[in-house]
Amino acid sequence: MGKEVAVNISEIRAGVNKLRGSLTGLHTKFNAKQGFKNTNIPPFTADLETVNQSMKLLEKYRLLLEEDSEVLSDTVETMRENDEQLARRNNSVRNEPQRLHV
């Protein structure tokens, strides 16, 4: 027969929760327009624009990670439900007398 496959659901949930906790640190509030009002020196305005673009990319990355954590969480829950269904089916097959077809 096949080998046993095991997934530690609580360990995966802990990893997802850790990821979600890290995401809270990625929230950024950066107002480039305020910086442009105070800065008009070309090297600084160029740097400020680069920082502004970086912040936008960071926000996109944070949103993607949030979506990934939701998908991962849903996948783990589906795996757990499927495992329980398989276990119930397997127990019902073993516990009920089976008719032999000859």
pLDDT tens, position by position, 46-95: 888 888 888 889 889 889 999 999 999 999 899 889 888 888 887 765 55
DSSP state letters, 29-89:
---HHHHHHH---HHHHHHHHHHHHHHHHHHHHHHHHHHHHHHHHHHHHHHHHHHHHHHHH
Torsion sign (Cα): 92, 95, 96, 102 = positive
What pLDDT is recorded for position 28? 62
The pTM score is: 0.64
Torsion sign (Cα): 39, 42, 45, 47 = negative
Contact criterion met (CB below 8 Å) for 66 and 23: yes
Q: In residues, how long is the chain?
A: 102
pLDDT tens, position by position, 1-48: 567 777 788 888 898 889 888 887 776 666 656 655 666 788 887 888
